[in-house]
Amino acid sequence: MKALLDEAEEGSIRMTPLIDVVFLLLVFFLVATTFYEAEKDITIRLAGATEGAERDSTADLLVINIGEAGVIVINQRVYSVDELEALLRRGRARNPQLAAIIRCDRRARHADFVKVLNLCERTGVRQVAVATIQTDE
């Protein structure tokens, strides 16, 4: 009888260490995984457009948000015009192919949009897109 118990213990797999390893792997992957979220300032209401296609995301893509009051926001940080120019110059120095998407509130002044567009041109950012929402009109 004792021989049968010894054989059963030898052939069984201890589940506690296996469960611990699986749990640790689960925690590791949850912590190590970064969730990509596109740059979106919720307070901006984009203008509608009927033509055009969605742009593929690129690694060096700078999303510039212009609020209704002309406030420039990038990655939840407010920038002045001079700070934006310095940021664009640093970005171009790191990557000459730097691209920008301008997300301008439809109620913002046209002059604020043109000011950011001019900064992109002045700093050499040639790939500039304007974000809109698709409408049926």
**Model pLDDT for residues 83-136, shown as the tens digit of each residue:** 999 999 999 999 999 999 999 888 889 999 999 999 999 999 989 988 877 777
- The count of structural domains within the chain is 2
The yes-or-no verdict on residue 34 having pLDDT over 90 is: no
Structure tokens at 86: 């310095």
43: amino acid identity, one letter:
T
67, 14: one domain: no
Strands 48-49 and 72-74: unpaired
The yes-or-no verdict on residue 137 having pLDDT over 70 is: no
68, 125: one domain: yes
User: What span, in angstroms and rounded, lies between the C-alpha atoms of 67 and 52?
Assistant: 23
19, 79: one domain: no
Confirm whether 39 is domain-assigned.
no
At a CB cut-off of 8 Å and minimum separation 6, what does 112 contact?
66, 70, 104
User: What span, in angstroms and rounded, lies between the C-alpha atoms of 71 and 69?
Assistant: 6
Confirm whether 40 is domain-assigned.
no
73, 126: one domain: yes
Confirm whether 18 is domain-assigned.
yes
pTM across the whole model: 0.59
